[in-house]
Structure 1
Amino acid sequence: MVKYWKTDDRLIHEEVWVNNGVWVQMINPTVAEGQEIAEKLNVDIEDVLAALDEEESSRIEMQDGYTLILVDIPTIEIRHDKESYTTIPLGIILTQDEIVTVCTEDTPVLQAFLNNRVKEFSTKKKLRFVYQILYRISALYQSDLRVIDKKRTEIEERVGEDTEDVDLIALHELESTLVYFATSLRANGVVLDRLTRYKRLEQYPEDKELLGDVIVENKQAIEMTSIYRDIINGTRELMSSVIDNRLNNVMKYLTSITLVMAIPTIISGIYGMNVAAEWMPFAKTPHGFLIICVLILIVCLIILFILRKKKML
């Protein structure tokens, strides 16, 4: 899908054709749509469709007449019937008169511009528009990181009797997401560093200040990712320890029960041997069987008392 947008008097409206100061928004475009835009703007078709490859890494390339900027943005995907976070490429192409964005999804990063929620937004000020997009990307990373930490907190609150293996799997998925985020944020940081030396288009002092804010927000997102990864590692180790401790308690309990049950088994086994009756205690005593059962019960109670005192039960 391809749409054309332009701002007039700080309000955005849709255009029907490409002209100066237009923002070309491409959402999961077909090859034919990509070829059409490439011919109109005199851009390489491979650069137009580069963002459709999920394996593309963040970079900035300066070609004849235009500049390609690729950055990673966070998005939600369904994994194991649950919502999980991942990253996808967002392509930005800067020509002399137009700006093109290419993405496989209708990302909330760009929806904010279409809903007039970004101050001082203008499709004619292309470089500022790029910096505003990058700022929204960093803000979205931070927002998603807070959601991830909230999920981690919910799992941590269940540590104890309600801890299950599924919680360990959920923590592993959160940790994997943070690895993706950390990799993408570092790559985006390299792009931002190159943009500080970008001279092809005119930059106003306000634009440079905005770029500085973007760099700060990106570094903050990287730091948040690192902190949350460390916290998740600690939570995962805590849960593993709780599960191991629970298993140890079960093993102690079963061992104690086995020890107590072994006493009547041993005594009954001795009395079951085929030997002369005069050698077996209480063999000829009236109520001998009852006496032996009482003795077995007393010995079992003593063993239980000792085990309980040693906190084995």
Structure 2
Amino acid sequence: MVKYYKTDNKLIHEEKEIGNGVWVQMINPSVSEGQYVAEQLNLDIEDVLAALDEEESSRIELQDGYTLILVDIPTIEIRHEKESYTTIPLGIILTADEIVTICTEDTPVLHTFIQNRVREFSTKKKLRFVYQILYRTAALYQSDLRVIDKMRTEIEERVGNDTREEDLIALHELESTLVYFATSLRANGVVLDRLTRYKRLEQYPEDKELLGDVIVENQQAFEMTSIYRDIVQGTRELMSSVLDNRLNTVMKTLTSVTLIMAVPTVISGIYGMNVDVKWMPLAKTTHGFSIIIFLTIVICVILILILRKKKML
């Protein structure tokens, strides 16, 4: 899908075709749509469709007549029938008169621009537009990181009471997500560093200030990712230790019960042997059976007291 937008008098409206000062928004475009935009703006089709490859890394490429900027943005995907976070590429192409964004999804990073909720937004000020996109990207990372930390907190509250193996799997997925975030934020930081030396398009003084804010927000998101990853790793290790300790407790209890039950089993087994009655103690004694049962109970009670003293029960 390809749409064209332009701002006039600080209001954004949709255009019918490409023109000067137009923002070309491409959402999961087909090859034919990519070829059309590439021909209209004299772009390389591979650069136009580069953001559709999920393995593309963040970078800046200076081409003849235009600049390609690729950054990673956070998004939601369904994994194991649950919502999880990952990152996808967002392509930005700057020409002399137009700006093109390419993404496989209709990302919330760009929603605020279409809804005209960004101050001082203009499709004609292309470099500022890029910085505003990157600022929204860093803010979205931080928002998703807070959600991830809330999910971790909910799992951590169940430690020791209702700890389940599913929680370990969920923590592992959160840790994987944070690894993706850290990698993407680090790569985005390299792109931002290159943008500080970008001289191809005109930069206004406020643009440089905005770029500084973007760098700060991106660095803050990266630090949040590192902190949350360490916390998730610690929570996962704690939960794993709790599950191991719970298993050890169960095994210890079962061993103690087996040891106690072995006493009457051994005694009854001995008296059940096919030998002469005269060799069996208490065989001819009055109330011999009751005495044997009483002695068995006494031995079991003594064994229970010993096990409790040693905290085996």
Please give the TM-score of this superposition, normalised by the length of structure 1: 0.98
Query: 1:280 deviation in Å?
Result: 2.0
Q: Distance in 2 between matches of 1:38 and 1:258?
A: 77
Query: 1:279 deviation in Å?
Result: 2.8
Query: 1:310 deviation in Å?
Result: 2.1
Q: Distance in 1 between matches of 2:10 and 2:219?
A: 30
Structure 1 letter corresponding to 2:269: G
1:253 aligns with 2:236: no
Match of 2:108 in 1: 108
Per-residue CA shift, 1:238-274, capped at 9, x if unaligned?
Answer: 0011001100110111011011001011111222233
Match of 2:223 in 1: 223
Match of 1:131 in 2: 131
Match of 2:57 in 1: 57
For residues 10-89 of structure 1, the aligned pairs below 5 Å read 10-89=10-89
Q: Distance in 2 between matches of 1:127 and 1:112?
A: 17
Match of 1:172 in 2: 172
1:181 aligns with 2:181: yes
Q: Distance in 1 between matches of 2:274 and 2:72?
A: 82
Match of 1:148 in 2: 148
Structure 1 letter corresponding to 2:163: T
Structure 1 letter corresponding to 2:136: R
Q: Distance in 1 between matches of 2:56 and 2:275?
A: 85
Q: Which secondary structure does the structure 2 equivalent of 1:87 belong to?
A: strand
For residues 145-294 of structure 1, the aligned pairs below 5 Å read 145-294=145-294
Please give the TM-score of this superposition, normalised by the length of structure 2: 0.98
Per-residue CA shift, 1:165-215, capped at 9, x if unaligned?
Answer: 000000000000001111111111110010000000011110001001101
Q: Distance in 1 between matches of 2:311 and 2:86?
A: 48
Q: Distance in 1 between matches of 2:240 and 2:92?
A: 44
Match of 1:7 in 2: 7
Q: Distance in 2 between matches of 1:21 and 1:135?
A: 21
Q: Distance in 1 between matches of 2:30 and 2:273?
A: 88
Q: Distance in 1 between matches of 2:297 and 2:117?
A: 79
Query: 1:19 deviation in Å?
Result: 1.0
Match of 1:307 in 2: 307
Match of 1:295 in 2: 295
Q: Which secondary structure does the structure 2 equivalent of 1:90 belong to?
A: strand
Structure 1 letter corresponding to 2:219: K
Query: 1:233 deviation in Å?
Result: 0.7
Structure 1 letter corresponding to 2:278: E
Per-residue CA shift, 1:138-187, capped at 9, x if unaligned?
Answer: 00000000000000000000001200000000000000000111111111
Q: Distance in 2 between matches of 1:267 and 1:38?
A: 91
Structure 1 letter corresponding to 2:71: V
Match of 2:122 in 1: 122
Q: Distance in 2 between matches of 1:17 and 1:293?
A: 98
Unpaired runs of 5+ residues, structure 1, are: none
* Count of residues paired in the alignment: 313
Q: Distance in 1 between matches of 2:117 and 2:171?
A: 34
Unpaired runs of 5+ residues, structure 2, are: none
Q: Distance in 1 between matches of 2:19 and 2:265?
A: 94
Identity %: 82
What value does the CA root-mean-square deviation take over the aligned residues?
A: 0.8
Structure 1 letter corresponding to 2:33: E
